[in-house]
Amino acid sequence: MNKRRIGIGIAVVAGLVILFFVGRYFVIQKEDNERRSNQAKIEKAAQLAKKKAKEAEEKATRLAAEKAIRTLHQVCLYADSIGIDTTRYTVVSTAKKPITDAKLTQLLLEIRYGKKPSGLEYNGLKERVDSAWARNIETAVEPKVLAGLAEFAPYNQLVGHYDRLKSKVASNPAIADSLRLIRQTLNFYRYVNRFNPDRFVVVNLPAGELNVFDRTGERLLPMQVIAGKPDRQTPCMTTYIQSIVTYPYWNVPRNIALEEMLPRMKRSSTYINYQNLQLLDDKNHEINPKSVDWKSISVTNFPFRVRQGAGCENSLGLLKFNLANPLAIYLHDTNSRDLFKNTKERWRSHGCVRVQKPVELANLVLGAETFDDKFLDECLLDQKPKTLPIPKRFPVFITYNIADVDAAGKLRFYKDVYSLDDK
């Protein structure tokens, strides 16, 4: 009986234990299910939040890209109105913002600084391009900022002519060529901004003119020039006046000495003295022309350098403006000043530029009245070259602008004297 009771007790205890563990199992299962369900809900919520955040980011990116494209389009319209070819700045409607921003930055830089003009043979000036300005797009594209870039009077006048002619091109297609020439000059004026000059010289070869401008475009000193002949073209360049020389020598370029002077030297024994020329050897010693066996001298056998002595009849006149360049080009006075009065043919030099008002130009560059009005007329004898330093580099732009405005703001088209218009 006792054994039976013990067995029953054991069975009851075992049943209770089993029941406990079964119950515990179901409790644990329920808790696990609830945890898994909550985790699934959390993960689903997180995925939903991530999806919404991604959608919001994509929307913001899309809206920013669309805004950038609209901004680029607006700036292109402005650029087109000032003569810039905007076809290379177009983007597709699905373009990413970084691509559009890069195009916009490039366009803003061209609006402000232009492109290097074709035909520029030498650049001796340091550029001062503010690239950070263009990268700050939100500020750079403001209308007042864009409008403020065009404070140069001739540039503004030329833009006005461009807009006027552009409105007529549909009814008169021939105007398109005039617009093309104006665009080239507008680009030149923008290109000048790269150097941020306060005062500077512009020699426009087709016009046969020199102007000294300040940064507002005021013509401080206009004058005529005589530039290179079509077969001895004055090269286009950006440079600066290094110094001014009074009573300069003329170191005759070798090609001129051989082609033009040598035949005359051989024909006439008085030619060298009459032209105040000097023959120099490789040690810079002067050679007596009478000691030369002229029969043995030829284009291939000419061991001399030719120099014209200083004085009233020197081809460079009494003032020479040394320009920094490797092409041996400079500005200078002339011993034939009447040419400015007697001819409109302004292209007759060997390549350098003869200026009509050398005294006024020298005084302006030096920043002082160094020379009076009588300097050229007095022309002292037995003078030696004297070099005057420049207080500050004075930029010089020798350019080839067929279309431009004159002092009155009137649109002018000049003759393509060097046949450089590539159309």
Annotated catalytic residues are: 332, 352
Sign of the torsion angle spanned by Cα atoms 335, 350, 288, 309 = positive
| Cα–Cα distance measured from residue 329 to residue 370, given in angstroms and rounded to the nearest whole number | 24
- What are the distances in angstroms from CA 338 to CA 26, 245, 335, 355, 374? 120, 22, 9, 12, 16
Tokens of 376: 């050229």
DSSP 42-92: HHHHHHHHHHHHHHHHHHHHHHHHHHHHHHHHHHHHHHHHTT---GGG---
- From the list 203, 308, 331, 294, the residue with the least C-alpha distance to 256 is 308
Q: Is 348 helix (H, G, I), strand (E, B) or coil?
A: strand
Tokens of 44: 């689903």
Q: Are 133 and 146 in contact (CB under 8 A)?
A: no
Cross-strand partners of 210: 203, 223
Cross-strand partners of 388: 244
Enumerate the H helices of 82-142 as residue ranges: 97-113, 131-135, 137-140
Token pair 């810079």: residue? 284
Q: Are 394 and 243 in contact (CB under 8 A)?
A: no
Would you give the DSSP letter of residue 319? E
The total number of residues shown for the chain amounts to 423
| Cα–Cα distance measured from residue 333 to residue 320, given in angstroms and rounded to the nearest whole number | 6
Sign of the torsion angle spanned by Cα atoms 18, 20, 25, 26 = positive
Number of H helices, E strands in the chain: 13, 16
